[in-house]
Structure 1
């Protein structure tokens, strides 16, 4: 898993992207519940609009090379 995380970090957006979103939230008169920060977060937010949560969770777990079965399903 360390290798997967290191690869993700190598291509991740910089902290300045998150800082800009934090400033946007702080300045918002009526802040929204969620703000995506970075390209991957925007893509995930887009997929959430039409894909079932369980499908997205399974995809994320596979990408991070984690068990694809949830703890309640492991028995």
Structure 2
């Protein structure tokens, strides 16, 4: 089970629904574990800067080419 009962952001829920671990996103995006953890936790609804967002979207598009920033963050 992913998420472990924690509040999840839209990004966190997207990963959970597809059975994708945060560690996978860390490896694919090249971002730090704490950054990914912050962005998948629903408590703070943190929005990434443009460079971070681009790295995350690039990794996720390997799985779903139609994914876009609006799916996760208010623009």
Compute the TM-score of the two structures, normalised by the length of structure 1.
Answer: 0.24
Which one has the bigger helix percentage? 1
Over alpha carbons, which structure has the higher Rg?
A: 1
